[in-house]
Amino acid sequence: MGRGPVDPTRRLQISTPKIAPSLLAADFSRLGEEVERIVAAGADLLHFDVMDGEFVPNFAISPPFIAAVREITDVPFDVHIMVTHPLRYIDALAAAGADFITFHIESADKPDEVISAIRAHGIKPGLALCPRTPVSAVTSYLSDVDLVLPMSVEPGFGGQSFQPGTLEKIATLHQIVQEMTQPLDISVDGGVTTEIAPLTIHRGATILVAGTAIFRSQQPETIIQKLRTPATYDESL
């Protein structure tokens, strides 16, 4: 997966990323315990994958699920909506307790309208792009959002392998962010492991979403710590 040496000057600008466990990989039969286990392990955010069975070939988390988790934790909620018509769901997601709502540039609604609807609730908007979508598709909206999410797998399912082409997108986005006046989080989502994490952090990722790696571990606190502060850095992976 090597992409050549990373510019050492870029390393100086690296900051500790926030870790966002994805509830999609939780044991839903013990949801409350799972949330408490992962919050106690040090989650900075909780990531929710909302799927409508149309934008992606799968159904997943809905607003009542998010509202139920909101009853038991104050950790900020990072809600990733993989739906064809994001505008339809903003009010319900706001009521459920979202702190970030990230929608897809490939969805059918006008990005400006979705961003305004999210901001009207005092929530931070984010913009996601599928692996096939170039960074150029989102650049004109970056100054209007708080988060950009270049997906590192096809959206719809957990447990897939990280697509290496995402690394270049993260680096490109990082360069753009460096020239912006306001901060913008760069999130990475899909196939993130303790081996992959440093490659993304060293290119500028500031939020790491991980489902399988965290929830399927018996020691999630160790995984979260390793994701946040990788001990090793191996470009040859």
CA 14, distance to chain mean position in Å, is: 18
In the set 191, 198, 220, 230, which binds ligand DX5 (CB under 6 A)? 191
Give the CA count within 13 Å in the CB-facing half-sphere of 147.
Answer: 26
206 secondary structure, DSSP code: -
Return the number of the residue (158 or 220) whose C-beta is nearest ligand DX5: 158
Of 4-63, binders to ligand DX5 (CB under 6 A) are: 22, 24-25, 47, 49
Distance CA 224, CA 217 (A): 10
Query: With CB cut-offs between 5 and 8 Å by kind, which of ligand DX5, Zn ion, none does residue 211 bind?
Result: ligand DX5
Spatial separation of the C-alpha atoms in residues 164 and 153, rounded to whole Å: 10
Using CA atoms, how far apart are residues 229 and 166, in angstroms rounded to an integer?
20
187-226: contacts with Zn ion (CB under 5 A): 189
Q: Which tokens sit at 126? A: 């984010």
209: left (phi over 0), alpha (psi -120 to 50) or beta: beta
Q: What are phi and psi of 167, to 5 degrees?
A: -60, -40
CA dist 42 and 28 (Å) reads 20
If one asks whether residue 211 binds ligand DX5 (CB under 6 A), the answer comes out as: yes
Which of 44, 78, 185, 189 is labelled catalytic? Answer: 189
Q: Which of 27, 44, 49, 112 is catalytic?
A: 49
Nearest approach, Cβ of 63 to ligand DX5 (angstroms)? 17
Q: How far is CA 96 from CA 48, 68, 70, 120, 148, in A?
A: 12, 8, 7, 15, 22
Choose, by CB under 5 A, the member of 23, 44, 45, 49 that binds Zn ion: 49
What's the CA gap between 115 and 127, in Å, rounded?
9
* Per CB under 6 A, 111 contacts ligand DX5: no
- Contact status: 80 vs Zn ion (CB under 5 A): yes
Stretch 78-107: interaction string toward ligand DX5, x if CB under 6 A? --x---------------------------
Of the candidates 159, 163, 233, 155, the residue with the CA atom closest to the CA atom of residue 194: 233
Please indicate whether residue 99 is annotated as part of the active site: no
Nearer to ligand DX5, 22 or 107 (CB): 22
7 is catalytic: no
Tell me the closest approach of the beta carbon of residue 65 to ligand DX5, in angstroms: 14
Q: Which does 169 bind (CB under 5 to 8 A by kind): ligand DX5, Zn ion, none?
A: none
- Interface contacts to ligand DX5, rule CB under 6 A: 22, 24-25, 47, 49, 80, 153, 155-160, 189-192, 209-213
